[in-house]
Amino acid sequence: MLEELKKLKDLQLLDVQIFEKEEELDSIPEQNEILKEKIGEMEGKLHELRNGIAIQEEEKMKRVEILNKGEDKLKGITGKQSAIRNKEEYGALLREIDNIKRFNRDISDEIKEIEREVEFKNVELKAIEDETVEKIAEYKKKIEENIEKMKTLDETLQKMYLKREEFVEKIRPVVFRKYQRILESSSNGKAIADAENKICLGCNMTLPPELFNMVLRSERIEVCPNCQCILIPCQCKESE
């Protein structure tokens, strides 16, 4: 039985490696999702700012058009001065000129206000661009690298699974089935533990003396009552 236990121990070493690679492989899609989410947030913020600026530029252009019309109107009305016949008409004309001038001044103020806001937003946009554009590229690169890593891990695992099959073929089915059952219910990928000085090194529990003696004799498979690992006498390791 000791020979079988040694084989199980080799299998366990391989399975630990497989477990680590599988864990690593499993964690990558989530990492990529997080990166994609961050990229989305940053791109969203940039889009929002650029859009806001574009809308204000449009508003400004509308007002510039209105102002141009207002200035044309002012020119036109000033040209009418020669046609004035009396004081009343003159007064009315002056009032109209005043109104147009006031209107044009208001529009002009609005344009300046929009320009100030756009300038402010451009500064903000530039700051965010400086901060995020590089980061977005970096995250995108990381996602690509992760996809490559997944391919490599998958290939490595396929090779490990083949190697595992070779290992398993050399182990008695009844022994292997027991090992496999424990492995499948284990949360850390471990099904084997060394036993030394009456202690299970898998979980550090002190083993009942009669159980420890059975383990030392290695006549059959014994499991730790606490962590359920198959117990292997420690000299099994030393004799390797």
> How many chain residues touch Zn ion (CB under 5 A)?
6
Residues 6+ apart with CB under 8 A from 16: 189, 190
Site for Zn ion in 200-219 (CB under 5 A): 200, 202-203
CB of 16 to Zn ion, least distance (A): 16
DSSP 56-83: HHHHHHHHHHHHHHHHHHHHHHHGGGGG
- Residue among 195, 224, 232, 236 that touches Zn ion (CB under 5 A): 224
192, β-bridge pairs: 230
Q: Is 70 in the site for Zn ion (CB under 5 A)?
A: no
DSSP 178-222: HHHHHHHH-SSS--EEEEETTEETTT-PBPPHHHHHHHHHTSS--
Q: Is 186 in the site for Zn ion (CB under 5 A)?
A: no
CB of 157 to Zn ion, least distance (A): 28
CB 137 within 8 A of CB 35: no
Q: Is 226 in the site for Zn ion (CB under 5 A)?
A: yes
Site for Zn ion in 4-43 (CB under 5 A): none
Using the rule CB under 5 A, give the single segment among 46-54, 119-127, 147-155, 196-204 that binds Zn ion. Answer: 196-204
231, β-bridge pairs: 193
- Residue among 227, 230, 232, 236 that touches Zn ion (CB under 5 A): 227
* Contact positions vs Zn ion (CB under 5 A): 200, 202-203, 224, 226-227
